[in-house]
Structure 1
Amino acid sequence: MKKITAIVRPERAEEVAEALGKAGFAALTKMDVAGRGKQMGLRMGSVYYDELPKTMFWLVVQDERVAEAVEVISKTAYTGNFGDGKIFVSPVEEAYTIRTGVKEL
């Protein structure tokens, strides 16, 4: 299993969640966050925004479906502008259902 962490523009978050659901990735966690990328924030005239609002998604998928999930997120979150986001993929060694105590495969 792999954990996918995706950081996207907040205005694209609902579309990303809907697209993931339609593709069969129903289970996810979504959180509003703030941060900055390589651009180190945003300057508009004399105003400097050090951190910008983003939305972070976490989902765990089977190894064979990682590329599909990444493609759904990438295509849905894409605007072509700086700050579209980032996707990270990490291994998941173990997962347990709290209610039952059952170890996921």
Structure 2
Amino acid sequence: MLDVDPTTLALEFGGSAVIGGVLGFATKQVAKLVAIIIGTQLMAFRYLESQEILIVDWNRLSAGLVETQERADEIHWLESMLSMLSVGAGFTSGFLIGFHRG
């Protein structure tokens, strides 16, 4: 027989939801900042290339993105999420709420 304490499960779920919410909010803010930095950098590259100051190999630059996507497809995250269901569900829901509100 399983000895499951509902209070412990609720505390794990609630605590991980709060932590997930804070991290989701922070992640969205950081993602906005990174997007601005990368966009500015790409605009600078494009400008310097148009002035013939710099030569950018755009095919080689985008090849790294394709390789990263291929590696991400190999990770089996579902198995690890099922092993920590109460913490994972709380964290995920809090993260999504925080990310949405951020």
Query: If the TM-score is normalised by the length of the shorter chain, which range does it land in?
Result: under 0.3
The structure whose residues are more often strand, as a share, is: 1
The structure whose residues are more often helix, as a share, is: 2
Q: Which structure is richer in relative contact order (CA contacts within 8 A, separation 6 or more)?
A: 2
TM-score, with length taken from structure 2: 0.23
